[in-house]
C-alpha cells in the first residue's frame, strides 16, 4: 500500500504512475515568471515547511515543483475556486490552480505524499486532480468559556489547512467571557475578558495567517441570549435580572439583552462596527440559540406596550424581531448573517443562513424555507464521541438518511443510559422545524462545521480533543459522497495524525509533558501511564459536564448546579484522554487478524504485548498512586485491566490452538464488562468495546 492510498481527506481523483521523484537533495519550489506576489509568498512559506520535513534546504541540482496559479482577492470568499492539479514524474512536479487557495491545498497534499524507504525520501509519481465537494468546511472554536490565545489559534489554522478546512468560526462571547477588544466599548473586554481576550493586533495577525492558508475567519457575536458577559459590563441592558458578577457556571442562563431599549441598540451598533473592522469576512454569526422563553415573556406595562407597538404576540416573536433587526444591520453594512437553528421563524428573512445543530430536521426545514444552511448536528466534538460516529453523517444526504443516522447514534450501546437525552434534543429540532413553511426557491446547502465547545477544553488539551474527529468531518465535507467507508478512514487516521505532528505544531498524539508532570508522572512511569490512558476514554455525551445529579435533574426537566465551571482546573487524567485511542485501533486490527489466521505471529505478539502491559500496571503504578491523588482515582481501572489481561491471553491461547473459547469463558468476559461499566473518575474502559465482539458472549 502506497502513501497515495493513505491520503486524508480522500482525493477526488488520483492516478498512480510509474516511478518516483527522489528528494534526497531536497525539493525546490519555483513559481512561473511574473507570478503574483501571493503565489511567491505561498511558495516561500511552503519551502520552509518542505525543508523542515526533508531535513535539508534544496541543493542546486534538487528537483523542482513548479507552481502555476492565478491570483485572487486578499481574503478568501465563499465559492472561490479551490481545485488543483498535481502532476509528479521522475524528474519534476507541477502544481496548477486557479487561485492561491487551490495551490495551498495542492501543496498540503504534496507534503502528505512525501514518503521514505531504504533509498531515501521521495514523492510517488502520480496525477492528482482534486478539490472540495462543499464550499463551507468549518471548525467552530469556543474561546469564551476557556480562552484560547493566539498561539493555540495559529497552530489550529495549520491543522485545519492540513485537513482541507476553510472556515474558522470563533465563538467570541458567552456568559463566561467577552473575548475581543472593542475600542468603542472597552468595558466589555476590560470587565468581562477574565482569562484573556484577543487584542486588535492579534486579530489582524490571525486573519492574515488564515488568509494565507485560504481560511476565512467568521466571528460570532452571540445575541440576544448567552449575554452574561455583556450584561456584567452593562447590567442596565438586561431583559431580566442582570448578573451581579461575571458568570462562571456553565449551562442555560436567563441572561439576555433587552430589545426594547434604545441603549441596547446603541451598544450593538458600536460593537458591530468594531467587529466588522476587525473581521473582513462577508459572514457574521449572530448566535441566537438557547434564549430562555420566559425572558421575553414580558409582563411589565412599558415592555408590553413596546410589544404592542411592534405587533409582537409572544416571546418567540420578540426574539425573531431582535434577530431580524440584527440581520438588517448587517445587510446595511454589506455583510450576511448566520444563526443557530433556533432562529428559524416564519418571519425570518431568507438572507439569514441557518446552522443546524440540534438535528437534521432543522437542516431540511431551513432549506425548504429558502435559507442557505450549514450542518453541524452530527459533529459536536465536545460530546467525546469516537470519530466513526461523526463520520457516518453526510450533510448532503437526504433527510430520511440523516434521521436514520441520528436514530442509530441514539441506539449506540455506549449511550444507552443517556439515549433519552440524545433523542430529546433531536425532538426540539423537529418542533422548531414544524413552525416554518416552504418557499418556491429552495435554499442551498453550503457545507458544515465541526463544533468544539470549550467547557472542558483548554489550550493544553485542545489538540487531543480535536484532530482525530476533525479529520472525520473534514473528509465528509471535502471528499466525494461515495467516500464513506469508516473502516478505511480509521485505517488512514493514525498516519494522518502522525503527519500532522511532523509538519505542524499540533500534537494530537503526544501527551503534554507539563500535564503529565502535574499528575506526578515521572519519566520512568510514563510508558505505564500511557498503557493505562490508551485503554480508557472520557465518558460520552454530556455525562461529565452535567454530573450524575445533573443527568437526573435534566430528565425531570430541572437544572442543577454542574460540577464544572469556568474556574475549575482541568488537570485530571480524564482531561488527557482522547475520545479515540490509536492503540485501540491497533488492538482491534490484531484481534481481527488473529481470528482470521490463527498462526499470525505478529498479531499474536501484539495481543500478548497488550496483555502483558495491562498485567503489570498495578505493580508499575503503585508508587505513583501513593503520591498522586488523581492517579489513585483510577485504581479500580488499573486493577480491572490487570484482570482483563488474563482473559485476553486465554482467548489468544484458544484461537491459536484452533479451539474457540467456550461459553463459560465468553460469559465471564461479558459479566466482567457489565461489572466494570460504571464510570470511574469520569472514564470508561474503551477497551471493552474493542474486545466484546471477540471475547463476549455474543461472539
- Domain positions in the chain are 3-130, 136-490, 511-695
Average pLDDT over residues 307-334: 97
279: left (phi over 0), alpha (psi -120 to 50) or beta: beta
Of the chain, the end-to-end C-alpha distance in Å amounts to: 31
Dump strand ranges (E) for 118-162.
120-130, 136-142
Q: How far apart, in whole angstroms, are the C-alpha atoms of residue 499 and residue 521?
A: 27
Cis peptide before 9 (omega within 30 of 0): yes
Sequence-separated (6 or more) residues with CB below 8 Å from residue 482: none
Average pLDDT over residues 139-161: 98
Q: Can you say how many angstroms the Cα of residue 252 is from the centroid of all Cα atoms in its chain?
A: 22
Q: Cell numbers of 40, please? A: 511567491
Q: Report strand pairing: 120-130 vs 115-117.
A: antiparallel
Average pLDDT over residues 402-415: 96
Separation in Å, CA 305 to CA 299, 324, 646: 10, 20, 74
Task: Give yes or no for a contact between 39 and 71, defined as CB atoms under 8 angstroms apart.
Answer: yes
Band the pLDDT of 450: cuts 50, 70, 90: very high
The pLDDT of residue 561 is 87
Average pLDDT over residues 39-64: 95
Band the pLDDT of 476: cuts 50, 70, 90: very high
Run of H or E including 616: helix 601-627
- Residue 88: which of 4, 181, 183, 148 has the closest Cα? 4
HSE (CB half, 13 Å, CA atoms) of 106?
34
- Residue 669: which of 686, 694, 652 has the closest Cα? 694
User: CATH second-level architecture of 136-490?
Assistant: Alpha-Beta Barrel (3.20)
Average pLDDT over residues 260-270: 98
What CATH code would you report for 3-130?
3.30.379.10
- Mean pLDDT score of the chain: 96
The pLDDT of residue 661 is 81
Average pLDDT over residues 564-582: 95
Average pLDDT over residues 251-265: 96
Length of the chain equals 699
The pLDDT of residue 72 is 86
The pLDDT of residue 601 is 96
Residue 698 has pLDDT above 80, yes or no: no
Q: Model confidence over 645-657: pLDDT tens digits?
A: 999 999 999 998 8
Task: Give yes or no for a contact between 531 and 609, defined as CB atoms under 8 angstroms apart.
Answer: no
What is the four-CA torsion angle of 502, 503, 506, 512, rounded to 10 degrees? 30
Band the pLDDT of 462: cuts 50, 70, 90: very high
The pLDDT of residue 556 is 82
Residue 186 has pLDDT above 70, yes or no: yes
Run of H or E including 95: strand 92-97
Please provide the DSSP assignment of 430-458 as one string.
HHHHTT----SS---EEEEEEEE--TT--
What sign for the dihedral angle of Cα 182, 185, 188, 191? positive
The pLDDT of residue 699 is 53
Q: Which residues of 366-404 are buried (b: 16+ CB within 10 A; e: fewer)?
A: bbbbbbbbbbbbbbbbbbbbbbebbbbbbbebeeeebbe
Q: Report strand pairing: 84-88 vs 120-130.
A: antiparallel
Band the pLDDT of 558: cuts 50, 70, 90: confident
Q: Cell numbers of 12, please? A: 477526488
- Residue 562: which of 544, 576, 577, 575 has the closest Cα? 544
Q: How far apart, in whole angstroms, are the C-alpha atoms of residue 95 and residue 101?
A: 12
Cis peptide before 224 (omega within 30 of 0): yes
Residue 1 has pLDDT above 80, yes or no: no
- Beta bridge pairs of residue 198: 180
Band the pLDDT of 193: cuts 50, 70, 90: very high
Q: How far apart, in whole angstroms, are the C-alpha atoms of residue 37 and residue 171?
A: 32
Average pLDDT over residues 145-157: 98
Neighbours of 413 (CB within 10 A): 10
Separation in Å, CA 240 to CA 227, 255, 298, 299: 11, 7, 9, 11
Q: Which residues of 520-535 are buried (b: 16+ CB within 10 A; e: fewer)?
A: bbeeebeebbbbbbbb
Q: How far apart, in whole angstroms, are the C-alpha atoms of residue 215 and residue 136?
A: 10
Band the pLDDT of 616: cuts 50, 70, 90: very high
pTM here? 0.97
Q: Cell numbers of 25, please? A: 537533495
Q: Cell numbers of 266, please? A: 446603541
Q: Model confidence over 56-84: pLDDT tens digits?
A: 999 989 999 999 999 888 999 999 999 99
Q: Report strand pairing: 92-97 vs 64-69.
A: parallel
Band the pLDDT of 33: cuts 50, 70, 90: confident
Q: How far apart, in whole angstroms, are the C-alpha atoms of residue 154 and residue 74?
A: 18
The pLDDT of residue 663 is 84
Q: Model confidence over 215-241: pLDDT tens digits?
A: 999 999 999 999 999 999 999 999 988
Q: How far apart, in whole angstroms, are the C-alpha atoms of residue 528 and residue 248?
A: 36
Residue 2 has pLDDT above 80, yes or no: no
Q: How far apart, in whole angstroms, are the C-alpha atoms of residue 498 and residue 492?
A: 10
Q: Which residues of 220-255 are buried (b: 16+ CB within 10 A; e: fewer)?
A: bbbbbbbbbbbbbbbeebbbbebbeebbbebbebbb
Of all residues in the chain, the percent with pLDDT exceeding 70 is 99
Average pLDDT over residues 161-167: 98
Give the ranges where 74-194 is alpha helix by DSSP (H): 100-113, 150-163, 187-192
Q: Model confidence over 80-121: pLDDT tens digits?
A: 999 999 999 999 999 999 999 999 999 999 999 999 999 999
- Beta bridge pairs of residue 126: 16, 88
Residue 268 has pLDDT above 60, yes or no: yes
Amino acid at each position: 500500500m502506497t502513501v497515495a492510498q493513505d491520503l486524508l481527506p480522500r482525493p477526488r481523483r488520483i492516478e498512480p504512475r510509474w516511478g518516483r521523484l527522489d528528494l534526497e537533495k531536497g525539493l525546490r519550489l519555483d513559481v512561473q515568471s511574473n507570478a503574483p506576489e501571493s503565489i511567491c509568498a505561498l511558495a516561500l512559506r511552503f519551502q520552509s515547511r518542505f525543508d523542515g520535513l526533508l531535513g535539508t534546504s534544496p541543493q542546486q541540482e534538487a528537483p523542482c515543483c513548479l507552481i502555476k496559479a492565478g491570483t485572487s482577492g486578499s481574503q478568501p470568499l465563499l465559492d472561490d475556486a479551490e481545485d488543483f492539479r498535481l502532476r509528479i514524474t521522475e524528474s519534476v512536479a507541477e502544481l496548477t490552480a486557479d487561485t492561491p487557495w487551490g495551490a495551498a491545498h495542492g501543496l498540503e497534499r504534496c507534503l502528505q505524499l512525501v514518503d521514505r524507504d531504504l533509498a531515501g525520501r521521495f514523492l510517488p509519481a502520480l496525477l492528482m486532480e482534486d478539490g472540495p465537494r462543499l464550499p463551507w468546511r468549518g471548525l467552530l472554536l469556543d474561546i469564551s468559556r476557556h480562552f484560547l490565545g493566539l498561539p493555540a489559534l495559529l497552530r489550529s489554522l495549520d491543522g485545519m489547512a492540513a485537513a482541507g478546512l476553510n472556515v474558522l468560526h470563533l465563538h467570541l462571547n458567552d456568559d463566561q467571557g467577552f473575548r475581543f477588544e472593542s475600542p468603542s466599548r472597552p468595558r466589555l473586554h476590560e470587565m468581562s475578558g477574565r482569562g484573556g481576550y484577543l487584542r486588535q493586533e492579534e486579530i489582524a495577525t490571525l486573519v492574515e495567517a488564515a488568509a494565507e492558508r485560504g481560511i476565512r475567519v467568521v466571528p460570532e457575536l452571540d445575541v440576544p441570549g448567552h449575554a452574561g458577559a455583556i450584561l456584567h459590563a452593562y447590567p442596565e441592558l438586561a431583559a431580566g435580572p442582570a448578573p451581579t458578577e461575571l458568570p462562571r457556571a456553565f449551562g442555560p442562563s436567563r441572561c439576555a439583552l433587552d430589545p426594547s431599549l434604545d441603549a441596547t441598540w446603541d451598544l450593538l451598533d458600536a460593537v458591530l462596527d468594531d467587529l466588522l473592522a476587525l473581521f473582513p469576512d462577508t459572514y457574521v454569526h449572530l448566535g441566537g440559540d438557547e434564549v430562555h422563553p420566559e425572558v421575553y415573556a414580558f409582563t411589565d406595562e412599558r415592555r408590553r406596550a413596546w410589544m404592542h407597538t411592534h405587533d409582537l404576540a409572544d416571546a418567540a416573536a420578540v426574539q425573531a424581531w431582535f434577530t431580524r433587526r440584527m440581520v438588517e444591520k448587517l445587510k446595511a453594512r454589506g455583510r450576511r448573517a448566520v444563526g443557530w437553528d433556533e432562529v428559524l421563524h416564519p418571519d425570518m428573512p431568507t438572507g439569514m443562513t441557518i446552522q443546524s445543530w440540534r438535528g437534521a430536521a432543522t437542516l431540511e426545514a431551513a432549506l425548504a424555507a429558502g435559507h442557505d444552511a450549514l450542518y453541524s448536528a452530527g459533529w459536536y466534538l465536545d460530546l467525546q464521541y469516537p470519530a466513526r460516529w461523526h463520520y457516518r453523517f453526510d450533510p448532503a444526504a437526504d433527510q430520511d438518511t440523516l434521521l436514520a443516522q441520528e436514530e442509530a447514534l441514539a441506539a449506540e450501546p455506549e449511550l444507552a443510559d443517556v439515549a433519552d437525552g440524545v433523542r430529546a434534543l433531536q425532538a426540539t429540532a423537529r418542533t422548531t422545524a414544524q413552525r416554518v413553511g416552504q418557499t418556491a426557491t429552495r435554499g442551498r446547502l453550503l457545507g458544515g462545521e465541526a463544533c468544539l465547545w470549550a467547557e472542558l477544553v483548554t489550550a493544553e488539551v485542545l489538540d487531543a480533543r480535536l484532530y482525530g474527529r476533525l479529520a472525520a468531518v473534514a473528509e465528509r465535507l471535502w471528499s466525494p459522497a461515495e467516500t464513506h467507508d469508516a473502516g478505511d478512514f480509521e485505517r488512514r487516521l493514525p498516519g494522518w495524525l502522525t503527519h500532522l505532528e511532523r509538519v505542524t505544531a499540533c500534537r494530537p498524539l503526544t501527551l503534554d509533558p507539563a500535564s503529565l508532570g502535574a499528575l506526578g508522572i515521572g519519566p520512568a512511569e510514563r510508558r505505564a501511564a500511557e498503557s493505562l490512558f490508551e485503554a480508557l476514554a472520557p465518558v460520552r455525551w454530556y455525562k461529565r459536564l452535567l454530573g450524575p445529579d445533573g443527568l437526573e435533574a435534566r430528565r425531570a426537566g430541572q437544572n442543577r448546579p454542574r460540577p464544572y465551571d469556568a474556574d475549575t482546573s482541568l488537570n485530571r487524567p480524564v482531561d488527557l484522554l482522547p475520545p479515540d485511542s490509536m492503540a485501540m485501533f491497533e488492538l482491534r486490527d490484531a484481534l481481527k487478524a488473529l481470528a482470521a489466521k490463527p498462526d499470525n505471529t505478529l498479531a499474536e505478539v501484539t495481543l500478548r504485548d497488550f496483555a502483558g502491559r495491562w498485567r503489570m500496571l498495578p505493580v508499575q503504578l503503585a508508587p505513583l498512586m501513593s503520591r498522586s491523588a488523581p492517579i489513585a482515582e483510577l485504581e479500580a481501572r488499573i486493577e480491572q485491566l490487570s484482570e482483563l489481561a488474563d482473559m485476553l491471553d486465554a482467548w489468544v491461547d484458544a484461537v491459536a490452538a484452533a479451539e474457540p473459547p467456550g461459553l463459560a469463558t465468553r460469559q465471564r468476559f461479558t459479566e466482567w464488562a457489565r461489572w466494570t461499566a460504571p464510570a470511574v473518575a469520569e472514564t470508561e474502559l474503551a477497551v471493552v468495546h474493542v474486545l466484546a465482539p471477540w471475547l463476549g458472549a455474543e461472539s
